[in-house]
Structure 1
Amino acid sequence: MATAAGRTLDVSRYLQEQPFGRYHVTLLILCALVTFFDGQDFTALPYALPYLRDEWVIDDQTTALITSAAFLGQMIGSLFGSYLGDVFGRRPVIIASTIGSAVLTTAVGFAQSPEQLMALRFISGLAIGGLLAPVWALGIESMPKSMRATSVTIIMLGFSFGASSAAPIANWTAPVLGWQGIFWVCGAMTGVFALVLVFMLPESTRWLVATQQAKSRIAPTLARFNRGFDATAYDSFFLSDERKVRTHENGGTNALFRQAANVFLRFRELFVGKLALITLFIWAAYFFSSIAIYLKNAYGVLFMENLGILRQDAAWLAGASGIVGAIGGVVLLAVTEKRGPGWIALAPLIGIPIILLVGFGYVSGGFELMGVLLIGAIFVGAGHAAVISITSIYYPSAVRAFGGGWASFMAKFGAVAAPFIGSEAGFLQGASGAREGYVFTAFCMAGIVVFILLLASVARGMKDEPAPSSSAVQPAE
């Protein structure tokens, strides 16, 4: 663990030697709560849409524009948040984004027209998207290696629970305060939690070491894992399981040029060695998964209404499927994490024929339809949670949030496209349109299976490669 007469500490080995304890649990809970309120704020709109369509009499195209506005904001916010999370740290970006999400979600409830609603949802999406990659990175970098992917899934379990909590909030609030009340309640709850984060959220130890921060910042975070840690025994810290990365351009005098060069250097690090294919396959799998999940999130309640399910029942069903799907993702990762990412393909593979039962009209009504829709949505959610879990684990700590942010950015092309695909393809037009929407969802899940299996094929050899010298290139595990 230590070299040079015990004065240099291998932080990666130190962290692996610590048993999973109270601090790990506390951190997981905090990160899961961050995504809980993130999911609650983000998913408030789908539950408000039926009331909005009735009150403002908006057409399908306007519905798609309103829905996609937040996805577009998330898309851009994921890049900025991930970059800032690697430059300034996970903690400040997560706290700032949570505060921004609280304020802006509350503001959405004051929109007076579809145009104002689009603008406010876009701006709130910037904050909502900006915190995901940093919070994934914080979880990965604080957990034992055997729990890195599972930790992300547990963290995103919070997002799914938060998204599902918007259903009862809508059912209880909308009849009293209107659709506006849904956003006011969600925003207020997030604001209260933001205050908790200010006092409780720690910084990532791995990020502090990877970016060569001062000992005075690193030592207290190491003591969080082990109260008996003696910081005075060490003068410096390093990570033996990560390659060195270059993220700064020191030449030249033009500040704008240097900043652009820094971004390029970070981006290039995502394609070193086998990461060239791994990054592309992650993007593709996440893209198809985003289309499937966001088509469900945006129009799932409307689809179910068009298939004859009552609005409030559809809201409860959507909420329940989100929760159980996220739990399914945790179970899937807990069982398969040590066996490689290929096992993630199980969830979408099983979900395809179940969803096609509805898409092809073999199940068309009653409790049988509700049961099949619930099971199908569970596998969509479980697959999405599992895909998210691997978006950041292959990158070094110095660019981990950036890698996760770019994966989220590419995936949001699918999220932005999903509402437009739904409206332009006629998926909102009655029962036949809804069934076509489920067939399309099954097609997207097939895309997830293909690219996850390709990713597994490339990533399999990474653990078998010999440890490189200090000058060699090796992706972080």
Structure 2
Amino acid sequence: MASNAPKRTLDVTAFLQDAGMTPFHYRLLIISCLVTFFDGMDFSLVSVALPEIQEGLKLENAMLGYVSSAAFLGQMIGSLAGSYLADVFGRRPVILWCTAIGAVLTFATGFATSAEMLIVLRLFGGLAIGGLLAPAWAINIEAMPNSYRATAVTIIMLGFSVGGAAAAQTTNLIAPTYGWEGVFFFAGAATGLLAVVLQFTMPESARWMVAKGKPAAEVLPLLSRFDPGVGQEGYTELVLSDERKQGGSSPWAKSAALFKGQLAWITPIIWVTYFCSSFAIYIKASFGVKFLQVLDVPVDTARDLSSIGGLIGAVGAVFLLMFTERKGPIWIAAAPLLGVPLALLIGTGAVPVGGEAFIAVIMLGMITIGVGHASVISITSIYYPSAVRATGGGWASFMAKFAAVLAPIIASQMFLANKRAVLDGYSFVGLCLAGVVVGIVALAFFARRLGAERDAEAGLSGAVAEPAE
């Protein structure tokens, strides 16, 4: 017999927006930062331990590029696979599996005895790292009020940068006694411990569950973490007023949704901007220490500069995003715009190599590259509906990883031969940053048009549109 009880509908969009920042939001940010911290540590180990790896395995400079690119190639493939699986099966299971697999492969890297074995292990390790990031971005974006979304992504990527900085210091502490192998053993074991903790702490995305049509009885316990009283209201139907229902669950259908309306402009602009930023950051990540070594900077000092610059850059990105979420995304261009002349000062030889001014400019340049890249990452997913958000972030990451794969290979072939070649590498980084500036300016223009488009759709449907960031 059919029930005559009236339906009670909850607009989850309005609920999450009105909830503001709750203790659960902060717990989610902390958990996500731990995930990206160990992800960043695992990811950065090869680059910071490269001098020891090169010496221990007797690698030529040309081979260093392929070793560094292996993880990036894995990330490129993993970003698509992980993001699609996260849109189909949920953010939580993909994050859990990628963390566990990444831990095993990082630990196993310590057993590598040849360049070929190292390349294979980092390739598969990159699959796990690439598959993890887009779901981690998505689960935070979908939990946050609109005005905190980009900042939330930047905060969790702060964990990635801190992990990269910790990799440098961990290598300085462990490698002299236990060799580069011991560094991978330590990082793999620590990440494995995190994988166990996540089983009990990582939630699922409530917005994703609503977008997938999950029963209200399954979603309300998650919403109760934001407001314990919501489960007592007797809601029987949950909706997202700011999103149109997405048709089709195939990879092609989800990818096609990234080009609807103004997204047809925004998506390729994001890809190009992220590509340019990735070229700059991955030259730095792969050979930042090696570049400075060629310029006669001691290895320990080079690692310290790399870790400190990366850490300050990540923290700076958080403050920049807190400002830009009030003033508009075009202000993100400030960091790479400042980075262009800094890179050219080094590349042209205007600042003598080795002096205090040189160290200061190198440090500032690393900071601006880090600030700019973290800021670009923060806006790669915020423009997409929940049903395809991870797919959008995954495709952006996939396109960026073309730069990540090419950067170490090109740098090892063109910018490692001698001091002059290294300086040319810094000039090339400046050109990449100029491309980022152009992309952000274009993105700001089309983001306004996307906001107007969604306002018009909301006016026709009577719903409240989600503002473009």
TM-score (norm 1): 0.94
Please name the residue that 1:66 is paired with: 67
- 1:368 aligned residue (339, 357, 371): 357
Q: Which residue of 1 aligns with 2:118?
A: 117
Q: How many correspondences in the alignment?
A: 459
Matched, 1:271 2:259: yes
> What aligned pairs does 1:62-461 form with structure 2 within 5 A after superposition?
62-248=63-249, 262-363=250-351, 364-425=353-414, 427-461=415-449
State how far apart, in whole Å, the 2-side matches of 1:61 and 1:271 are.
39
Contact 1:301 1:315 survives alignment (8 Å): yes
* Aligned counterparts of 2:402 and 2:226: Cα–Cα separation in 1: 39
* CA displacement, residues 256-310 of structure 1 (integer Å, 9 cap, x when unaligned): xxxxxx1111010000000011000000000000000000000000111111210
Q: CA offsets, 1:365-419, max 9 Å, x none?
A: 1222111101000000000000000000000000000000000000000000001
Q: Provide the alpha-carbon RMSD of the alignment.
A: 1.5
Q: Deviations over 1:324-370 (max 9, x none)?
A: 01111111110111322211111100111112111111222122211
1:247 Cα deviation (Å)? 2.3
Task: Report if aligned partners of 1:243, 1:470 keep a CA contact under 8 Å in 2.
Answer: no
What residue is the counterpart of 1:251 in the other structure? none
Q: 49-58 vs 398-407, which deviates more?
A: 49-58
What is the CA–CA distance in structure 1 between the aligned matches of 2:357 and 2:183, rounded to whole Å?
31
Instruction: Give the whole-Å Cα distance in 1 for the aligned partners of 2:442 and 2:461.
Output: 29
Deviation at 1:458, TM superposition (A): 1.0
Question: CA contact under 8 A between 2:134 and 2:393: conserved in structure 1?
Answer: yes
Partner-residue secondary structure (3-state), 1:131: helix
Provide Cα deviations, 1:174-227, integer angstroms capped at 9, x if missing partner.
Answer: 111111111111111111111111001110010010011122320111100011
Distance (whole Å) between structure 2 residues aligned to residue 402 and residue 475 of structure 1: 19
On the 8 A contact 1:36/1:160 being kept in 2, the answer is yes
Runs of 5+ consecutive residues of structure 2 not aligned to the other structure: none
Kindly provide the CA deviation profile for residues 129-181 of structure 1, in whole angstroms up to 9, marking residues without a partner as x. Answer: 10000000001000110000110000100000001100111001111111111
1: CA distance between counterparts of 2:67 and 2:53? 11
Deviations 1:15-52 (A, max 9, x none): 11113121111001111111111000000000111011
CA distance in 1, matches of 2:74, 2:449: 37
Letter in 1 for 2:289: V
Q: CA deviation at 1:231?
A: 4.5
Give distance in 2, aligned partners of 1:120 and 1:476: 43
Secondary structure at the counterpart of residue 142 of structure 1: coil
Please identify, of 332-341 and 172-181, the stretch whose mean Cα deviation from structure 2 is larger.
332-341
What is the alpha-carbon distance in structure 2 between the residues aligned to residue 382 and residue 188 of structure 1?
A: 30
Instruction: Please state how far the C-alpha of 1:53 moved relative to its aligned partner.
Output: 1.2
Q: Which amino acid aligns with 2:170?
A: I
Q: What do the CA deviations read for 1:423-476 (whole angstroms, capped 9, x no partner)?
A: 222x1122211111100000000010111111111111222343424599x887
For 1:387 and 1:313, how far apart are their aligned partners in 2?
28
| Whole-angstrom distance in 1 between the partners of 2:105 and 2:218 | 32
Question: Which stretch of structure 1 is more off in the superposition, 370-379 or 332-341?
Answer: 332-341
Kindly indicate whether the alpha-carbon contact (under 8 Å) linking 1:106 and 1:186 is maintained by their aligned counterparts in 2: yes
User: Aligned in 2, Cα 1:475/1:233: closer, same or farther, shift over 3 Å?
Assistant: closer
Distance in 2 separating the partners of 1:337 and 1:420: 36
Gaps of 5+ in 1: 249-261
Is contact 1:395-1:476 (8 Å) kept?
A: no
The answer as to whether partners of 1:300 and 1:318 remain within 8 angstroms in 2 is yes
Separation of aligned partners in 1, 2:20 and 2:448? 27
CA 1:475–1:422 in structure 2 vs 1: closer, same or farther (change >3 Å)? farther
Distance in 2 separating the partners of 1:317 and 1:241: 45
Give the C-alpha shift of residue 71 in structure 1. 0.3
Kept in 2: contact 1:396–1:476 (CA 8 A): no
Kindly indicate whether the alpha-carbon contact (under 8 Å) linking 2:103 and 2:189 is maintained by their aligned counterparts in 1: yes
**Amino acid across the alignment from 2:376:** V
Distance 1:330 1:356 in 2: 26
